[in-house]
Amino acid sequence: MIRAPMLALLALGLPLIAAAPARADLTLCNRTSYRMQAAVGIERRANVETRGWFKVDPGECRKVMDGPLDADMTYVHAHTPAIYGSAPLPENGEAEFCVRDGDFEFPNGRGCPAAQQARFGAAKPADSDSGPTINLGEQAGYNDAQARLAGIQRLLGIAGYDANPIDGVDGAKTQAALAKFLREHKLTADAVSRPDFFDTLIEAASHPQGPGFSWCNDSQYTVMAAIGTVEMGAIVTRGWYRIAAGSCLRPDVAADSQRFYSYAEAVDAAGRAIKRGDAALSWGGNVPLCTRDARFEVSNQKDCAARGLNSAGFAVIDLSTQPSATIRFKEP
């Protein structure tokens, strides 16, 4: 069974320390290269209030609570849109609180069924000029400007424009990729600084064009896909990428990669594999590689079962003789 990562936890490396009451509004800053959908939990005297979702683009700061922060502890949960596939974010947290689709506010964040809860990580707001601030960060340690540029680079790559490496540095390749994107989408240079530019990039990344490898889901089901790439002479598998019915997705891989391995399964709303007789409805090939039920990255493809992993047959995609390839998931 594959569990669809709709509410993947982001612990964000934030310390497990109680937050002292502060003097102003609570702000959330996204210093990652991914758009985040975030929720916060405010614990006051054994009661936890949760609220969300707050869309925060790379390099953006957003106020998530008005007035002085009166909290014994603050918590954060965040996840990325499906366009990123299997974003490299940790899945751990100290507490489970209530969330739901769409905007929400739970006065009692523990008062809902377990199926409606997500894992939150404790976070201590830092004191800044604008008041208490929680920073969402990744290993690269970007500042706000670098995070915004790295976020643009990442989405350009998914959309089929070579802006690698994703490093938040405004180099010649990034400038060329961005200029090509603006030209082909009939946008002026000032579009890059507009608040809706990430919406434009995500829309383009949802319909990738040009050279590279893509999946397109022509079935009626949600499909969870995994990819293998050759890195340092070894095959590394990653998953799961969630691809809605009728949509396409380009996995986030190095622009110069020429050999891929692909496997995918159709799932229902609960993340259970769709069956055709005794077998799962899947799309793959005859190269056995390792996967697991939850989000994964596996660099050792030997003895999958002995290490508590699953094994699936992956198809080989070779771009050495062609500029692009698309695997379409069709029902038999």
Binning pLDDT at 50, 70 and 90, where does residue 198 land? very high
**Which pLDDT score, from 0 to 100, does residue 50 have?**
96
Give CA–CA dist 34/80, Å, rounded: 7
CA 324 remoteness from chain centre: 24
122 in Cβ contact with 17 (< 8 Å): yes
Q: Is the pLDDT of residue 15 over 70?
A: no
Q: Is 144 within 8 Å of 151 (Cβ atoms)?
A: no
The values of phi and psi at residue 201, to 5°, are -65, -45
Tokens of 216: 């397109």
End-to-end CA distance of the chain: 21
Residue-wise pLDDT for 235-270, tens only, equals 999 999 888 888 788 887 766 678 899 999 999 988
Distance CA 157, CA 161 (A): 5
pLDDT tens sequence across 201-246: 998 887 766 667 888 888 999 999 999 999 888 999 999 988 888 8
Across the strands, what pairs with 75? 41, 122
H or E, element range at 184: helix 172-184
pLDDT of residue 158: 81
pLDDT one-digit tens code per residue, 171-190: 999 999 999 999 989 999 99
pLDDT digits (tens, 9 = 90+) for 87-143: 555 556 789 999 999 999 999 999 999 989 999 999 989 888 778 999 998 888 899
Are 70 and 130 a contacting pair, CB within 8 Å? no
Amino acid at 274: I
Asked if the model's pLDDT at residue 146 lies above 50, the reply is yes
Tokens (6 digits) for 298: 């596996």
Band of pLDDT at residue 20, cut at 50, 70 and 90 = very low
Which phi and psi (to 5°) does residue 92 adopt?
Answer: -150, 165
Which amino acid does the sequence have at 307? R
| Residue 298 banded pLDDT, cuts 50, 70, 90 | very high
- Which tokens sit at 4? 């669809």
Question: Residue 11 pLDDT more than 50?
Answer: no
Confidence of residue 12 (pLDDT cuts 50, 70, 90): very low
Average pLDDT over the chain, rounded to an integer: 85
Closest by CA to 180, choosing from 151, 211, 150, is 211
Residue 88: the pLDDT is 54
User: Is the model's pLDDT at 47 over the cut of 90?
Assistant: yes
Q: What is the DSSP letter of 276?
A: E
